[in-house]
Structure 1
Amino acid sequence: MLVAVAVCPHPPLLVPALAGAAAAELDDLRAACASAVRSLGDAGADTIAVVGGASTTAAYGADAAGSLAPWGADVRVGEGEAVLPLSLTIGRLLLDEEHLGASAFHAISFDADPAECAGLGRRLTERGGRTALLVMADGSARLTEKSPGYLDPRAEPYDRAIVRALARAEVPAFDVAEAAELWVQGRAALQVLDGLGEGLSAEILYDDAPYGVGYFVVRWTE
């Protein structure tokens, strides 16, 4: 039974050690992420699972480690070899900061088809007990001329549609090819939630694109 969801972005700059002098620019985003993640603990969940996009689909145990060394600072979570991709490393950092633990970490391939994504969501929530999900997902990286993927005029309305759907505790019917063209790296992770939000209330805690990438923070609760 799904009792709570937090959706957060996963830019390395969420970690102040990587942001340096620009760290204060994302203070509002960090605060929103912390609030959303705390909601998972407040929901009385028996388990918290973390889902995020990656180059390949993989599952990791509760003790899996990650490092941000490839992005400029050897900030680590967990013990042993760093195996978590960026999205799940940031997810574990957010949980650690709120003194919460995950039962498992699940990477879903950026190009996974919608049926595979939805199937993972069903498996995670049909195991019995009260389950909460932390979904790590960025919006389009083509929102401005300074975006990593440069400006695409389709990107802004595409991101608006994502946020409107999440505000209804729903997931938009993504066009997979268009999402890839618009550099929506969170598409697959968000589709893990397809059909799971029924009966939950939604709240948008953050919605902005400070570096030309769509970042939104959302919580769904009972």
Structure 2
Amino acid sequence: MIRSSEPAILYFGTPVALLSSLNADGSANLAPMSSVFWLGWRAVLGLSAASQTAQNLLRHPELVINLPSADMADRVDRLALTTAANPVPPYKAQRGYGHVHAKFARAGLTPVASETVVPPRALEAPVQLEARIEAVHSIAAEDAALAGRILTFEARILRVHVDEAILLAGDPNRIDPDKWRPLIMSFQKFYGLGEQVRPSTLATIAEAEYRSPDVDKARLAGPADRLRIAA
């Protein structure tokens, strides 16, 4: 029986991402989040405006969207309730967050240089998406109590780095969904994907039909300025 309900959150299941961004002191921040979706070679990220990552992106609009696999859940969880912000913002302190500066070390991940942006990639993540922020929007701008508290960042992908193990055999430009097992967050709990339920009629459309002009634009992206990164 269907009934009306008022869940405090509506996180019905989205992939976990680890966002690499640049702190004000030039060091690298690494933060887990799961409010993300893709349209072509663009990603839309939802972040608290007060978060360290949001502040980093407003100041330096470059990042890497690292996508962990399901077997990386323990490493991702090491970053839970941590923030690079010092002092810890009151709303985070109230929820039990503590300051951690060396986020890559905390998660046991290896920072490696990106090709087109300054923030580093996480070597162990099977998917690493270098990106630049193209637009920022405020959520609930019509509500005086909520305006400015949550921001969405539109990120244009500049480089895609993928572990060969999850590529379709014989095609370096296609991900094999039967091999890719992303880490999923659903109502504050970690999950992985199961087997394919059934074929989709949408699969009769060639993936190339969805190719975005951003793919060709990304080829023009130059090398990142080589700043010193302290992970």
**TM-score surpassing 0.5?**
no
Greater per-residue helix proportion: 1
TM-score by length of 2: 0.26
Largest Rg, 1 or 2: 2
Greater per-residue strand proportion: 2
